[in-house]
């Protein structure tokens, strides 16, 4: 199967692609912001590792919010 070019996509496919990208970037930005402000003792694991993992599409930021944060000291 050949790769589709942007011009080959329908209007709905273009909207879905842009919306997916916006959601991904918003999740990543929120996760990186939280990680930067959260003290290391309130993070499960090393902050540097989480900073890299957050860059993994959707899975990284969601994993950080579910597994990476401690709510108590």
The domains of the chain are located at 11-68
pLDDT tens over the chain, length 73 residues = 778 899 999 999 999 999 999 999 999 999 999 999 999 999 999 999 999 999 998 999 999 999 999 877 6
Return the SS3 of 15.
Answer: helix
Return the SS3 of 63.
Answer: helix
Burial class (CB in 10 A: 0-12, 13-18, 19+), 70: exposed
Query: What per-residue confidence (pLDDT) applies to 73?
Result: 64
Distance between CA atoms of 57 and 64, rounded to whole angstroms?
Answer: 12
Contacts of 44 (CB under 8 A, 6+ apart): 67, 68, 69, 70
Query: What per-residue confidence (pLDDT) applies to 4?
Result: 85
């Amino acid at each position: 199967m050949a790769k589709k070019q942007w011009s080959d996509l329908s209007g709905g496919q273009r909207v879905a692609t842009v919306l997916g990208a916006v959601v991904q970037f918003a999740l990543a930005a929120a996760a990186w912001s939280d990680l930067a402000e959260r003290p290391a003792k309130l993070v499960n694991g090393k902050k540097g590792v989480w900073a890299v993992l957050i860059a993994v599409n959707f899975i990284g930021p969601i994993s950080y919010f579910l597994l990476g944060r401690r709510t108590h000291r």
